[in-house]
Amino acid sequence: MSAKQFNEATLATLIHPVLLCGGSGTRLWPLSRKSYPKQFVKLTGAESLFQASARRLSGTGFAAPAIVTAADFRFIVIEQLAALGIVPADILIEPSAKNTAAAICAAALALEARAPDALMLVAPSDHVIPDPARFRDAVQAAAPAASAGQLVTFGIRPSRPETGYGWLELSAQTPDFTPVPQPLQSFVEKPDLAKAKALLAGGMHLWNAGIFLFSSNTILEAFAAHAPEVLATTSAAFEAAEKDLSFTRLAPPPWAELPDISIDYAVMERAQNLTVVPYAGAWSDLGDWQAVWREADADTTGTVTTGPASALDCHNTLLQATSEAQQLVGIGLTDIIAVAMPDAELISHKVRAQEVKQAVAALKSKAVPQAETLPRDYRPWGWYESLVVGPRFQVKRIVVHPGAALSLQSHHHRAEHWIVVEGTAKVTVDSDVKLVAENQSVYIPLGAVHRMENPGKVPLTLIEVQTGSYLGEDDIIRYEDV
């Protein structure tokens, strides 16, 4: 057996995680927004939800993960995986959001090309599963059924009459909800409260987690049988894809023709080879702020405080503040969600937490920037945030990662002044190149060709003062980029 054949055989025996990493970031506004959705936020610990998902689906028996995400998030994905020491097998870039059917189809095509008929575990990247070993055991229990040509979905043991999830109907009762594969009887749409109570009491239904296990060949055959237009159009986008560094950019023209449809509607609800595996461990999709409160460590009154927040005589309340420059204080609150950020605040009754999405839509209709963008803007080289904005000036804080560099650029309408407050900057201004240390500054005249680099081993932090007639981010002429 050649080395190539050995590698292919080895890949075929592994489970290949596929992390779906899109999302608009509306349900946990203002902490999560379109520019930085919840999977990248550290909501429940020291790691982001995306990092926890990648770590959970790694180790013995698992291949390197593939990621399906948007172009805006590609460098965030790379950075967060690198912090875990995980090198992805592929990062597929969606030209636009087309729901889960297209994303899963593209991932299956990529895996089939890389490791034919291998098992792929499809999972959202924003779920909370506190017991990763137990979940991996459930995945291994499902593997024989998936290898035998079944489309396996994982159902969560319900703990309440939830109306925000779809449900799965079992074909046989499982009193202890052990992870034993069984035929799936049917899918149940998100129920009203009365029906959800009946489903919970009946003991024959699970929450639909949107987590699947199947071979790449099996799911592609299912697309061919039940959603041939999705398969054909996604195949065209994949075949015309372009490699960009470690990314695979799916071709925009065919991708634009794809329907916006979920994998459930496109394939699962039409297929006959369906298997469900119960999972009895803790799980949450953190679908709204009430779910965040439910997963957090509350005090004896049911109150959760995060960041610079204080509660006096509060009950079953979540108080979350994100900036050390502010203090959030709640007095006499019951069943309230209060989230404070430097540029936006949310105050809601817990039972109406799912209406945050409607509030974001209302803000968007008014063209309010806070609806979709955070004060902090993440870039491949680091991040920046606006501190003060005036009619003809703007003050920013800029952080550049060690070894990173901004593009070589110039501006038509603004001059800039950089003051280094941490680290050392290598600065290019026209033909002049010099090092600028802490407490030193440099002036960038209007029209000058310039670049900033961090040659050091620690993050570079500087304050940028812009002055001019126009301060928009599109006033940039790029001559060279890293």
pLDDT recorded at residue 10: 52
Is 90 exceeded by the pLDDT of residue 25? no
Tell me how far apart the alpha carbons of residues 191 and 286 are, in angstroms, rounded to a whole number. 19
| Residues present in the chain in total | 482
Q: How many CB atoms sit inside 10 A of residue 299's CB?
A: 11
* Residue range 314-338: mean pLDDT, rounded: 95
Is 60 exceeded by the pLDDT of residue 188? yes
Is 80 exceeded by the pLDDT of residue 6? no
Residues 410 and 361 grouped into a single domain = no
In a domain, 370, yes or no: no
Residues 201 and 178 grouped into a single domain = yes
pLDDT recorded at residue 324: 87
Tell me how far apart the alpha carbons of residues 42 and 52 are, in angstroms, rounded to a whole number. 10
Longest dimension (CA), the chain: 76
Q: Say if CB 418 and CB 437 are below 8 A apart.
A: no
In a domain, 284, yes or no: no
| Domain C-terminal end among 225, 253, 279 | 279
In a domain, 422, yes or no: yes
Take residue 101 and report the two structure tokens written for it: 């059917």
Residues 155 and 195 grouped into a single domain = yes
Tell me how far apart the alpha carbons of residues 338 and 349 are, in angstroms, rounded to a whole number. 9
In a domain, 387, yes or no: yes
**Residue 58 sits in a domain of what CATH number?**
3.90.550.10
Residue type, 127: H
| Domain C-terminal end among 345, 365, 385 | 365
In a domain, 400, yes or no: yes
Tell me how far apart the alpha carbons of residues 83 and 26 are, in angstroms, rounded to a whole number. 26
Is 70 exceeded by the pLDDT of residue 469? yes
Residues 209 and 245 grouped into a single domain = yes
Instruction: Tell me the β-bridge partners of 389.
Output: 394
Tell me how far apart the alpha carbons of residues 109 and 46 are, in angstroms, rounded to a whole number. 34
Three-class HEC string of the chain: CCHHHHHHHHHHHCEEEEEEECCCCCCCCCCCECCECHHHCCCCCCCCHHHHHHHHCCCCCECCCEEEEEHHHHHHHHHHHHHHCCCCCEEEEECCCCHHHHHHHHHHHHHHHHCCCCEEEEEECCCECCCHHHHHHHHHHHHHHHHCCCEEEEEECCCCCCCCCCEEEECCCCCCCCCCCEEEEEEECCCCHHHHHHHHHHCCEEEEEEEEEEEHHHHHHHHHHHCHHHHHHHHHHHHCCEEECCEEECCHHHHHCCCCCCHHHHHHCCCCCEEEEEECCCCECCCCHHHHHHHCCCCCCCCEEECCEEEECCECCEEEECCCCCCEEEECCECEEEEEECCEEEEEEHHHHHHHHHHHHHHHHCCCHHHCCCCEEEECCEEEEEEEECCCEEEEEEEECCCCECCEEECCCEEEEEEEEECCEEEEECCEEEEECCCCEEEECCCCCEEEECCCCCCEEEEEEEEECCCCCCCCEEEECC
Tell me the pairing of strands 382-389 and 90-94.
unpaired
Residues 143 and 213 grouped into a single domain = yes
Confidence of residue 3 (pLDDT cuts 50, 70, 90): very low
* Residue range 432-445: mean pLDDT, rounded: 96
- What distances in angstroms separate CA 258 from CA 103, 106, 182, 251, one per listed residue? 11, 12, 33, 12
Say how many domains are in the chain.
3
**Residue 403 sits in a domain of what CATH number?**
2.60.120.10
Residues 33 and 115 grouped into a single domain = yes
| Domain C-terminal end among 248, 279, 310 | 279
- The residues, ordered by sequence, that sit 6+ positions from 284 with a Cβ below 8 Å of its Cβ are 127, 128, 291, 294, 295
pLDDT recorded at residue 1: 45
In a domain, 313, yes or no: yes
Confidence of residue 11 (pLDDT cuts 50, 70, 90): low
Confidence of residue 5 (pLDDT cuts 50, 70, 90): very low
Average pLDDT, the chain: 93
How many alpha carbons fall within 13 Å on the CB side of residue 195?
A: 11
Instruction: Express each pLDDT in 60-87 by its tens digit.
Output: 999 999 999 999 898 889 989 999 999 9
Q: Say if CB 425 and CB 465 are below 8 A apart.
A: no
Residues 49 and 98 grouped into a single domain = yes
Instruction: Express each pLDDT in 407-417 by its tens digit.
Output: 999 999 999 99
Is 80 exceeded by the pLDDT of residue 13? no
In a domain, 237, yes or no: yes
Residues 22 and 139 grouped into a single domain = yes
Instruction: Tell me the β-bridge partners of 338.
Output: 319, 347
* Residue range 470-481: mean pLDDT, rounded: 88
Residues 242 and 314 grouped into a single domain = no
Residues 324 and 457 grouped into a single domain = no
Is 70 exceeded by the pLDDT of residue 9? no
Residues 355 and 323 grouped into a single domain = yes
pLDDT recorded at residue 350: 94
Is 90 exceeded by the pLDDT of residue 384? yes
Q: Quick one: what percent of the chain has pLDDT higher than 70?
A: 97
Tell me how far apart the alpha carbons of residues 51 and 124 are, in angstroms, rounded to a whole number. 12
In a domain, 371, yes or no: no
Instruction: Tell me the β-bridge partners of 247.
Output: 91, 244
* Residue range 343-367: mean pLDDT, rounded: 94
Q: Is the dihedral of CA 309, 303, 130, 164 positive or negative?
A: negative
Residues 216 and 271 grouped into a single domain = yes
Confidence of residue 314 (pLDDT cuts 50, 70, 90): very high
Domain extent for 294: 289-365
Confidence of residue 24 (pLDDT cuts 50, 70, 90): confident
Q: Say if CB 112 and CB 37 are below 8 A apart.
A: no
- Whether a cis peptide bond, with omega within 30° of 0, leads into 30 is yes
pLDDT recorded at residue 8: 52
